[in-house]
Structure 1
Amino acid sequence: MTVPPEPDAPAKSLMASLGPGLITGAADDDPSGIGTYSQVGAQFGHTLTWTMLFSYPLMAAIQEICARIGATTGRGIADNVRRHYPRWLLPGVICLLVVANVINLGADLGAMAAALHLLLPGPLPLYTLGFAVISVLAEVFVPYARYAGWLKWTTLSLFAYIAVLIVTPMDWGDALYHVVVPTVQLDHAFLSGLVALLGTTISPYLFFWQAGQEVEELRRRQARPLHDAPRRAKPELRRIRADTLLGMGFSNVTALAIIVATAATLNAHGITDITSADQAAMALRPFAGDLAFALFALGIIGTGLLAVPVLAGSAAYALSEALRWNEGLDRAPREARAFYVAIALATFAGLGINMVGINPMRALYWTAVINGLLAPPLMVVTMLIARNPRAMGHLVISRPLAAVGWLATVAMTVVAVLFLFA
């Protein structure tokens, strides 16, 4: 039977058209990111703020490429690797992602519990367990359409850090100068901070999540992949670009706010090392006031509630695509048991990390470094898929977009190599 061509998608309001890109960008500012930005601001002051301006086009390009892969092929990144590349490549890709995600999950859950402990003293292990259970139950039992709406509204928690910046007194001239004038040092501490910043900004789990969410959106609308529905391609690709640019911009502005606020308070008063979530928030209190302290702590909890499902979900997407399991948050638990079990196992493996006495804030920082080292090989795989006509058909990414994507890959690789050998 011939399938009739799909009509052009109707025009949507801006808010209605936002989704995977906005959620992905907000999830990038997870407790791991907040911890990293706080440590960098405390240790280096405003010196590294230029990285947020530098990384924005690179981050936006690689995330748009991931979204286009999902929307064009109707499959996630791992599924495309399985179909189009040698069998030996996929296990390495999955292992890199799952290891990074589990470490990140553990760090995020520990930081969320520590932040709640600031506001409501109580047993940290119980708080950590509670956040893990809430995240798993929400992903498993809340219908996808409602769950995606919740995630979209959860992004508002990032405004807490914009508010922290507003209420924090600072030298705006010095802050703005370092945003536009790069400062580079080749010592190991500086390169460690640079890798951590880029690793938490351009993170592997975001690649798989945004591609997977575009596939979910196709299923939800009962729409065909773009390479089978050319009339929809142009408006959908415009929607993906707008969604991604806004989401990544929101992410980087929030990150910049955290670095600048901690530089103006902690670094300016000689506090250059953050060893716990409690210290990060408490140290702000004397210099920025009780409001900044409370907003900082609440922001960690809010962004964690957004990021933990994203981390667990991206690992489950990759595993399910690799092993040919039914997958997707739009499926009932009985239809995708292995997918939901993978979500639960990833989350509770992260929970287990907190039981071995690892300091949450220190783990947050080094998780970002690990992500920075793991990102380059995963970015190479993503770029190969996006330019492969067997996967993308006539909708392979354009040369200009590919150039920016490869620039992002090279930049991440160079920084990682300098960190390892400097």
Structure 2
Amino acid sequence: MKRNISTKLKHFWKLLGPGLITGASDDDPSGIATYSQAGAAFGLSTLWTGLLAFPLMAAIQQMCAKIGLVTSLGLTGALKKHYPRPVLYLMLLFSFPAIVMNIGADIAGMGAVGNLLFPSIDATFFSVFFTMLLLVLIIYLPYLKIAATLKYLCIVLLVYLIVPFMYDQDWGLIAKKTFIPTLEFNKEFVAILVGILGTTISPYLFFWQATMEVEEMKHKNHLVVNKRIINEMKQDVDFGMTFSGLVMYFIILTTGTVLYNGGVHQIDTVEQAAIALKPLAGNLAYLLFAIGVIGTGLLAIPVLSGALSYIITETFGWEQGLDKKFHEAKAFYVVIAISLVLGLSLNYIGISPIKALIYTAILYGMTAPVLIAIILHISNNKSIMGDYTNTLKANIFGFMALIIMSLASLVLLYLQFIDSN
């Protein structure tokens, strides 16, 4: 009996890959800061977004994965092949600054938290150290080792599922706030909603998911997609998005009870969230929260920089691939290096990491609807997808994501306009 369970678990772990990594990388240091801000500022009022985000995230990521599997192209390649060039260049124009700012916010968060754990060492040292470490690992490790490393790094996120159980909770109130949505029609609340949606349904993840499915197909020597491969992909994506949603839920739960109830309503950075937890929830909660930030940064930054490099190299037809050595795909690795260095430099040219974080989340929230509309169009195009066009269920959740993201962004623009007049 034990052997059967162990065998099944090993088989399931083996099935997990791009979906799990994509889901876990969604909860990067900048995402943790966004969720912490939501919890500290509004208590448990945004807890319900975890239930809303999961089916939308899963539906879009499954579509992206299926595009990669069926076309053997990344999302950029599919756009390049089937859509006018201006669409591709517009997407590149929006993606580049958003992803670089995201990388910069993550590096800054990791550096600051490193300084919290070792106060005698300056945060700048940690930022530079983590940037150089990631660059070396990405360039010198082959794809299979990178994928395996990222997969095991996902385990770090489990720390956030532990923290809320370390002190008393009002589980009745938590259940109410989880299942009954709270809405406030003001700029701050709508901005945090757009930020949460932009962080969970992030455009860079669309590109990463599709490209990684292509890489996985190559390494598993699958030449033709079939129903078994599609079903395994769905299990992987569903598990990854469930994991991502749980982490987001528990971070909002932690900060929405401990910090909000403790009178801490303004959180600008992840290190502030960790520091604020220390006197209110104890040293262990603080330590776990801080370690989680570094672990998620090590997981997410390769995904961010890799996604950007795939977007640019596919756009211009340059050699690409994490499984290639540096001399085989110089442009691919140079783009990764540039994105990391630019991200690091944001800390030294006067761009505040928290501003980079907020603008990134909102920019993702504003641009995601356009990409979701294109993904829906590709996924329902029989000439591209053949027998693997969207099911009715996938379309329902896909259009829900499109409508909700579009409405949230329009309301935010309206409130911003009203506020400025």
* 8 Å CA contact 2:40, 2:259 repeated in 1: yes
TM, length-normalised to structure 1: 0.94
1:93-137 Cα shifts (integer Å, max 9, x gaps): 112121210010000000010111100121222211111111111
**Structure 1: how far apart are the matches of 2:383 and 2:334?**
32
Instruction: Specify the alignment match of 2:148 in structure 1.
Output: 149
One-letter amino acid of the counterpart of residue 152, structure 1: K
**Structure 2: how far apart are the matches of 1:304 and 1:51?**
23
Secondary structure in 2 matching 1:329: coil
**Structure 2: how far apart are the matches of 1:315 and 1:271?**
36
Q: Which moved more, 1:17-26 or 1:216-225?
A: 216-225
The answer to whether residue 181 in structure 2 is matched with residue 182 in structure 1 is yes
2:57 alignment partner, one of 56, 59, 63: 59
Q: Give me the CA root mean square deviation.
A: 1.4
**Structure 2: how far apart are the matches of 1:406 and 1:72?**
21
Instruction: Specify the alignment match of 1:240 in structure 2.
Output: 233
Instruction: Specify the alignment match of 1:283 in structure 2.
Output: 276
CA positional deviation for 1:362: 4.5
Instruction: Specify the alignment match of 2:131 in structure 1.
Output: 132
Instruction: Specify the alignment match of 1:28 in structure 2.
Output: 26
CA positional deviation for 1:307: 0.3
**Structure 2: how far apart are the matches of 1:360 and 1:160?**
24
CA positional deviation for 1:169: 2.8
CA positional deviation for 1:160: 1.2
CA positional deviation for 1:390: 2.8
2:11 alignment partner, one of 10, 13, 24: 13
CA positional deviation for 1:172: 1.7
Instruction: Specify the alignment match of 1:5 in structure 2.
Output: none
**Structure 2: how far apart are the matches of 1:174 and 1:395?**
43
One-letter amino acid of the counterpart of residue 154, structure 2: T
How many residue pairs were aligned? 406
**Structure 1: how far apart are the matches of 2:95 and 2:198?**
13
**Structure 2: how far apart are the matches of 1:278 and 1:330?**
35
CA positional deviation for 1:43: 0.1
* 8 Å CA contact 1:41, 1:262 repeated in 2: yes
Secondary structure in 2 matching 1:88: helix
Please list, as runs of the form range in 1=range in 2, the aligned pairs for 1:379-418 lying within 5 A after superposition: 379-418=372-411
1:369 alignment partner, one of 355, 362, 386: 362
Secondary structure in 1 matching 2:346: helix
- Structure 1: gaps (5+ residues): 1-10, 227-232
Over 3 Å counting, the alpha-carbon distance change for 1:12 and 1:285 in structure 2 is: closer
1:263 alignment partner, one of 253, 256, 263: 256
Secondary structure in 1 matching 2:85: coil
CA positional deviation for 1:12: 8.1
CA positional deviation for 1:368: 1.5
One-letter amino acid of the counterpart of residue 99, structure 2: N
* 8 Å CA contact 1:203, 1:372 repeated in 2: yes
Q: Which moved more, 1:361-370 or 1:79-88?
A: 361-370
TM, length-normalised to structure 2: 0.94
* 8 Å CA contact 1:49, 1:179 repeated in 2: yes
Please list, as runs of the form range in 1=range in 2, the aligned pairs for 1:188-207 lying within 5 A after superposition: 188-207=187-206
Over 3 Å counting, the alpha-carbon distance change for 1:96 and 1:362 in structure 2 is: closer
1:95 alignment partner, one of 93, 96, 104: 93
Identity of aligned residues (%): 41
* 8 Å CA contact 2:160, 2:251 repeated in 1: yes
* 8 Å CA contact 2:167, 2:281 repeated in 1: yes
CA positional deviation for 1:219: 1.5
**Structure 2: how far apart are the matches of 1:200 and 1:276?**
15
The answer to whether residue 208 in structure 2 is matched with residue 209 in structure 1 is yes
One-letter amino acid of the counterpart of residue 45, structure 2: T
* 8 Å CA contact 1:326, 1:335 repeated in 2: yes
Instruction: Specify the alignment match of 1:44 in structure 2.
Output: 42
Over 3 Å counting, the alpha-carbon distance change for 1:400 and 1:70 in structure 2 is: same
* 8 Å CA contact 1:104, 1:367 repeated in 2: yes
One-letter amino acid of the counterpart of residue 245, structure 1: D
| Displaced runs of 4 or more, over 3 A | none
* 8 Å CA contact 2:321, 2:332 repeated in 1: yes
Please list, as runs of the form range in 1=range in 2, the aligned pairs for 1:331-350 lying within 5 A after superposition: 331-350=324-343
* 8 Å CA contact 2:33, 2:268 repeated in 1: no
**Structure 2: how far apart are the matches of 1:285 and 1:359?**
24
Instruction: Specify the alignment match of 2:344 in structure 1.
Output: 351
Instruction: Specify the alignment match of 2:291 in structure 1.
Output: 298
